[in-house]
Amino acid sequence: MKKHKDTQAVAAVLAAAGSSSRMGQNKLFMSFGGKSVVRRAAEAIAPFAQEKIAVCAPESLQRMARELEGTGFRVVPGGSSRALSVAAALKELEGGGIVLVHDGARPFVTPSVIEGCIETARRHGSAVAAVPCKDTVRRCSFGRAEASFKRSEMYQMQTPQCFCLDRLKCAYLRMDESALAACTDDAAVYEAAGEEIYLSPGDYANIKITTPEDAVFARALCQGSCSAEPACQAGADGGQAREYKAYCGAADAGDANTYNGENKMRIGNGFDVHALVKGRRLVLCGVEIPHETGLEGHSDADVALHALMDAMLGAAGLSDIGQCFPDNDPQYKNADSMKLLERVADMLKMRALRVSSADITVIAQAPKLSPYISDMRANIAKALQLPQDRANVKATTTEKLGFTGRKEGIAAMAAVLLSED
């Protein structure tokens, strides 16, 4: 029974074929707050998918079918590894759309994490839920530490992991069984096929139950709230994350949402300049403006968006666009700055930050920009998911003074206000 031809549809694959060797018992059927681990995971992702397939160990088919009764999941036998199990599920699906792969041992995933992954995958073709590493990570060999990594650049991968279905199927088909067996998640398979992986904000409470210690955390998540009402079911958003952080001692001052009862805000400023030359397009805030000269640069040289991105990166403490998108990197040659802006917005999301308002000033003697301001604002509002009254663009001149007054170039300034989710 193959379905899923709608290009906007979402299919869900629940990976539930693990051996539970580190747990000492089948973790998927362990009960927390009156529901099994795999039932919680299934109920969490079921509302987001039209076609739903669970893969499990062949010897557990009947028990898994009983456990997932009423969730809409069809149960099929998996393979000898996680990747081979997902490959078996993908054979049951056809057509376009998004496929969402989730671990059956992650029962506390929230709707916001799932929605974020689906949205990012629709924009970029892939999305992996991830959280920043809190601990220093080192590579070791035979007990000896060989190298450390910059913690601010390290992320822990979670699920769901979402992909364009056709591209994920192609990625799986390109690898033989031995290569697939070495892949620990679907992102590894996708990346091996030459595809790019994009991250989407995960949740520290979205734990994978693998060891007996994880079971302790799971009980802490359910304690109290589950005895009163099913508020800790997979799908209860926010509260379980706070409870988990409190239990683990993770809710330090850097993670709190407020200072002295007030919302934490961050302010960023950006500035950029590009020369006007013949033979180039003039693009400002994603709007192409007819003019005899355009802005010189490695990308499309959208000076207004470059200032905006610098303001966003600065407020987030993420350096600047020169480091994120180097002007000597061929992949950014003539790059669309609107696409780069979306990537910067995604980088902020990974740090639980979002733009609350943006204000750009374009400094140009010519051309006259007032006919294009409305479209510029609309582009920024759409890219940053803001109401248009929070995405402002204005233009001014220097009264013929300086390089902008001599029409040698255009400058832009930007200010942003970030809030912490």
- Looking at the predicted structure, is the pLDDT value of residue 260 above 60? no
Span 90-135, pLDDT tens digits = 999 877 799 999 999 999 999 999 999 999 999 899 999 999 888 8
At residue 153's C-alpha, the angle toward residues 150 and 159, to 5°, is 130
* DSSP string computed for 22-54: TTSS-GGG-EETTEEHHHHHHHHHGGG-SEEEE
* pLDDT > 90 fraction of the chain, expressed in percent and rounded: 59
Number of other residues whose CB lies within 10 A of the CB of residue 228: 8
What are the chain's domains? Answer: 10-254 (3.90.550.10), 263-420 (3.30.1330.50)
Burial state string for 161-171 with b = 16 or more CB within 10 A and e = fewer than 16: bbbbbebbbeb
140 pLDDT band, cuts 50/70/90, is confident
**Whether the predicted pLDDT of 393 surpasses 90:** yes
Q: What is the mean pLDDT of residues 46-63?
A: 94
Sequence length of the chain is: 421
List the beta bridge partners of residue 35. 32
pLDDT of residue 263: 54
Q: How much is the pLDDT for 244?
A: 34
Dump pLDDT digits (tens) for 189-247: 999 999 999 999 999 999 999 888 888 888 888 774 443 333 333 333 333 333 333 33
For residue range 301-337, list pLDDT tens digits in order: 999 999 999 999 999 988 889 888 888 888 889 999 9
pLDDT at residue 7, rounded to an integer: 55
Q: What is the mean pLDDT of residues 78-82?
A: 86
Name which of 199, 185, 126 is nearest 352 in CA terms.
Answer: 199
156 CB neighbour count, 10 Å cutoff: 15
- With a cut of 50, say whether residue 83 has pLDDT above it: yes
Question: So what's the pLDDT on residue 24?
Answer: 56
pTM, to two decimals: 0.62
pLDDT tens sequence across 332-388: 899 999 999 998 998 888 788 899 999 999 999 999 999 999 999 999 999 999 998
Q: What is the average per-residue pLDDT within 398-416?
A: 96
Residue 285 has pLDDT above 80, yes or no: yes
CB under 8 Å to 232, separation ≥6 — which residues?
33, 108, 221, 222, 225, 226, 239, 240, 243
CA distance 254 to 319: 19
What gap in Å lies between CA 411 and CA 227, rounded to an integer?
60
Question: Given a cut of 60, is residue 58 above it in pLDDT?
Answer: yes
**Mean pLDDT for all residues in the chain:** 85
- What kind and span of H or E run contains 273? strand 265-277
| Model confidence at 20: pLDDT above 80 | no
Q: Which residue has the higher pLDDT, 263 or 136?
A: 136
**Residue 248 clears pLDDT 50, i.e. is over it:** no
